[in-house]
Amino acid sequence: MPVDGKTEIAICLGSACFARGNNRTRKVIEDYIRNNGLWDKVIFRGGRCFNHCQQGPVMKIDEKIYDKITELNVTEILDEVFGQD
Ligand code: FES
């Protein structure tokens, strides 16, 4: 559920996802939020293992899980969610 009308983005920082790239992807997401002026619309947080390690690295936007995110495809996902061109 959105919190306070904001979209919640949670990136898994559990050891499997962290080791497979989520540490770098976290920075890409932060840059995306900043560059698109989204800080007042989102809550961005790191989470512990989401029990999806096999499909990782993973990210959750509200309750939806996105599998196999990378520094490259995460921007595409965020564009879809936030309707950026
Ligand atoms: S470490 Fe990310 S889902 Fe388990």
Please state the domain extents for the chain.
7-82
For residue range 4-53, list pLDDT tens digits in order.
789 999 999 999 999 999 999 999 999 999 999 999 999 999 999 999 99
- pTM confidence score: 0.92
Q: What is the pLDDT of residue 20?
A: 97
Q: Specify the CATH number of the domain 7-82.
A: 3.40.30.10
Q: Which residues, including other chains, have CB under 8 Å from residue 27's CB and lie 6 or more apart?
A: none
CA distance 48 to 28: 19
Distance in Å, CA 85 to ligand 1 centroid: 30
Residue 2, preceding peptide bond in cis (omega within 30° of 0)? no
Q: Is 52 in the pocket of ligand 1 (CB under 6 A)?
A: yes
Q: What is the pLDDT of residue 32?
A: 98
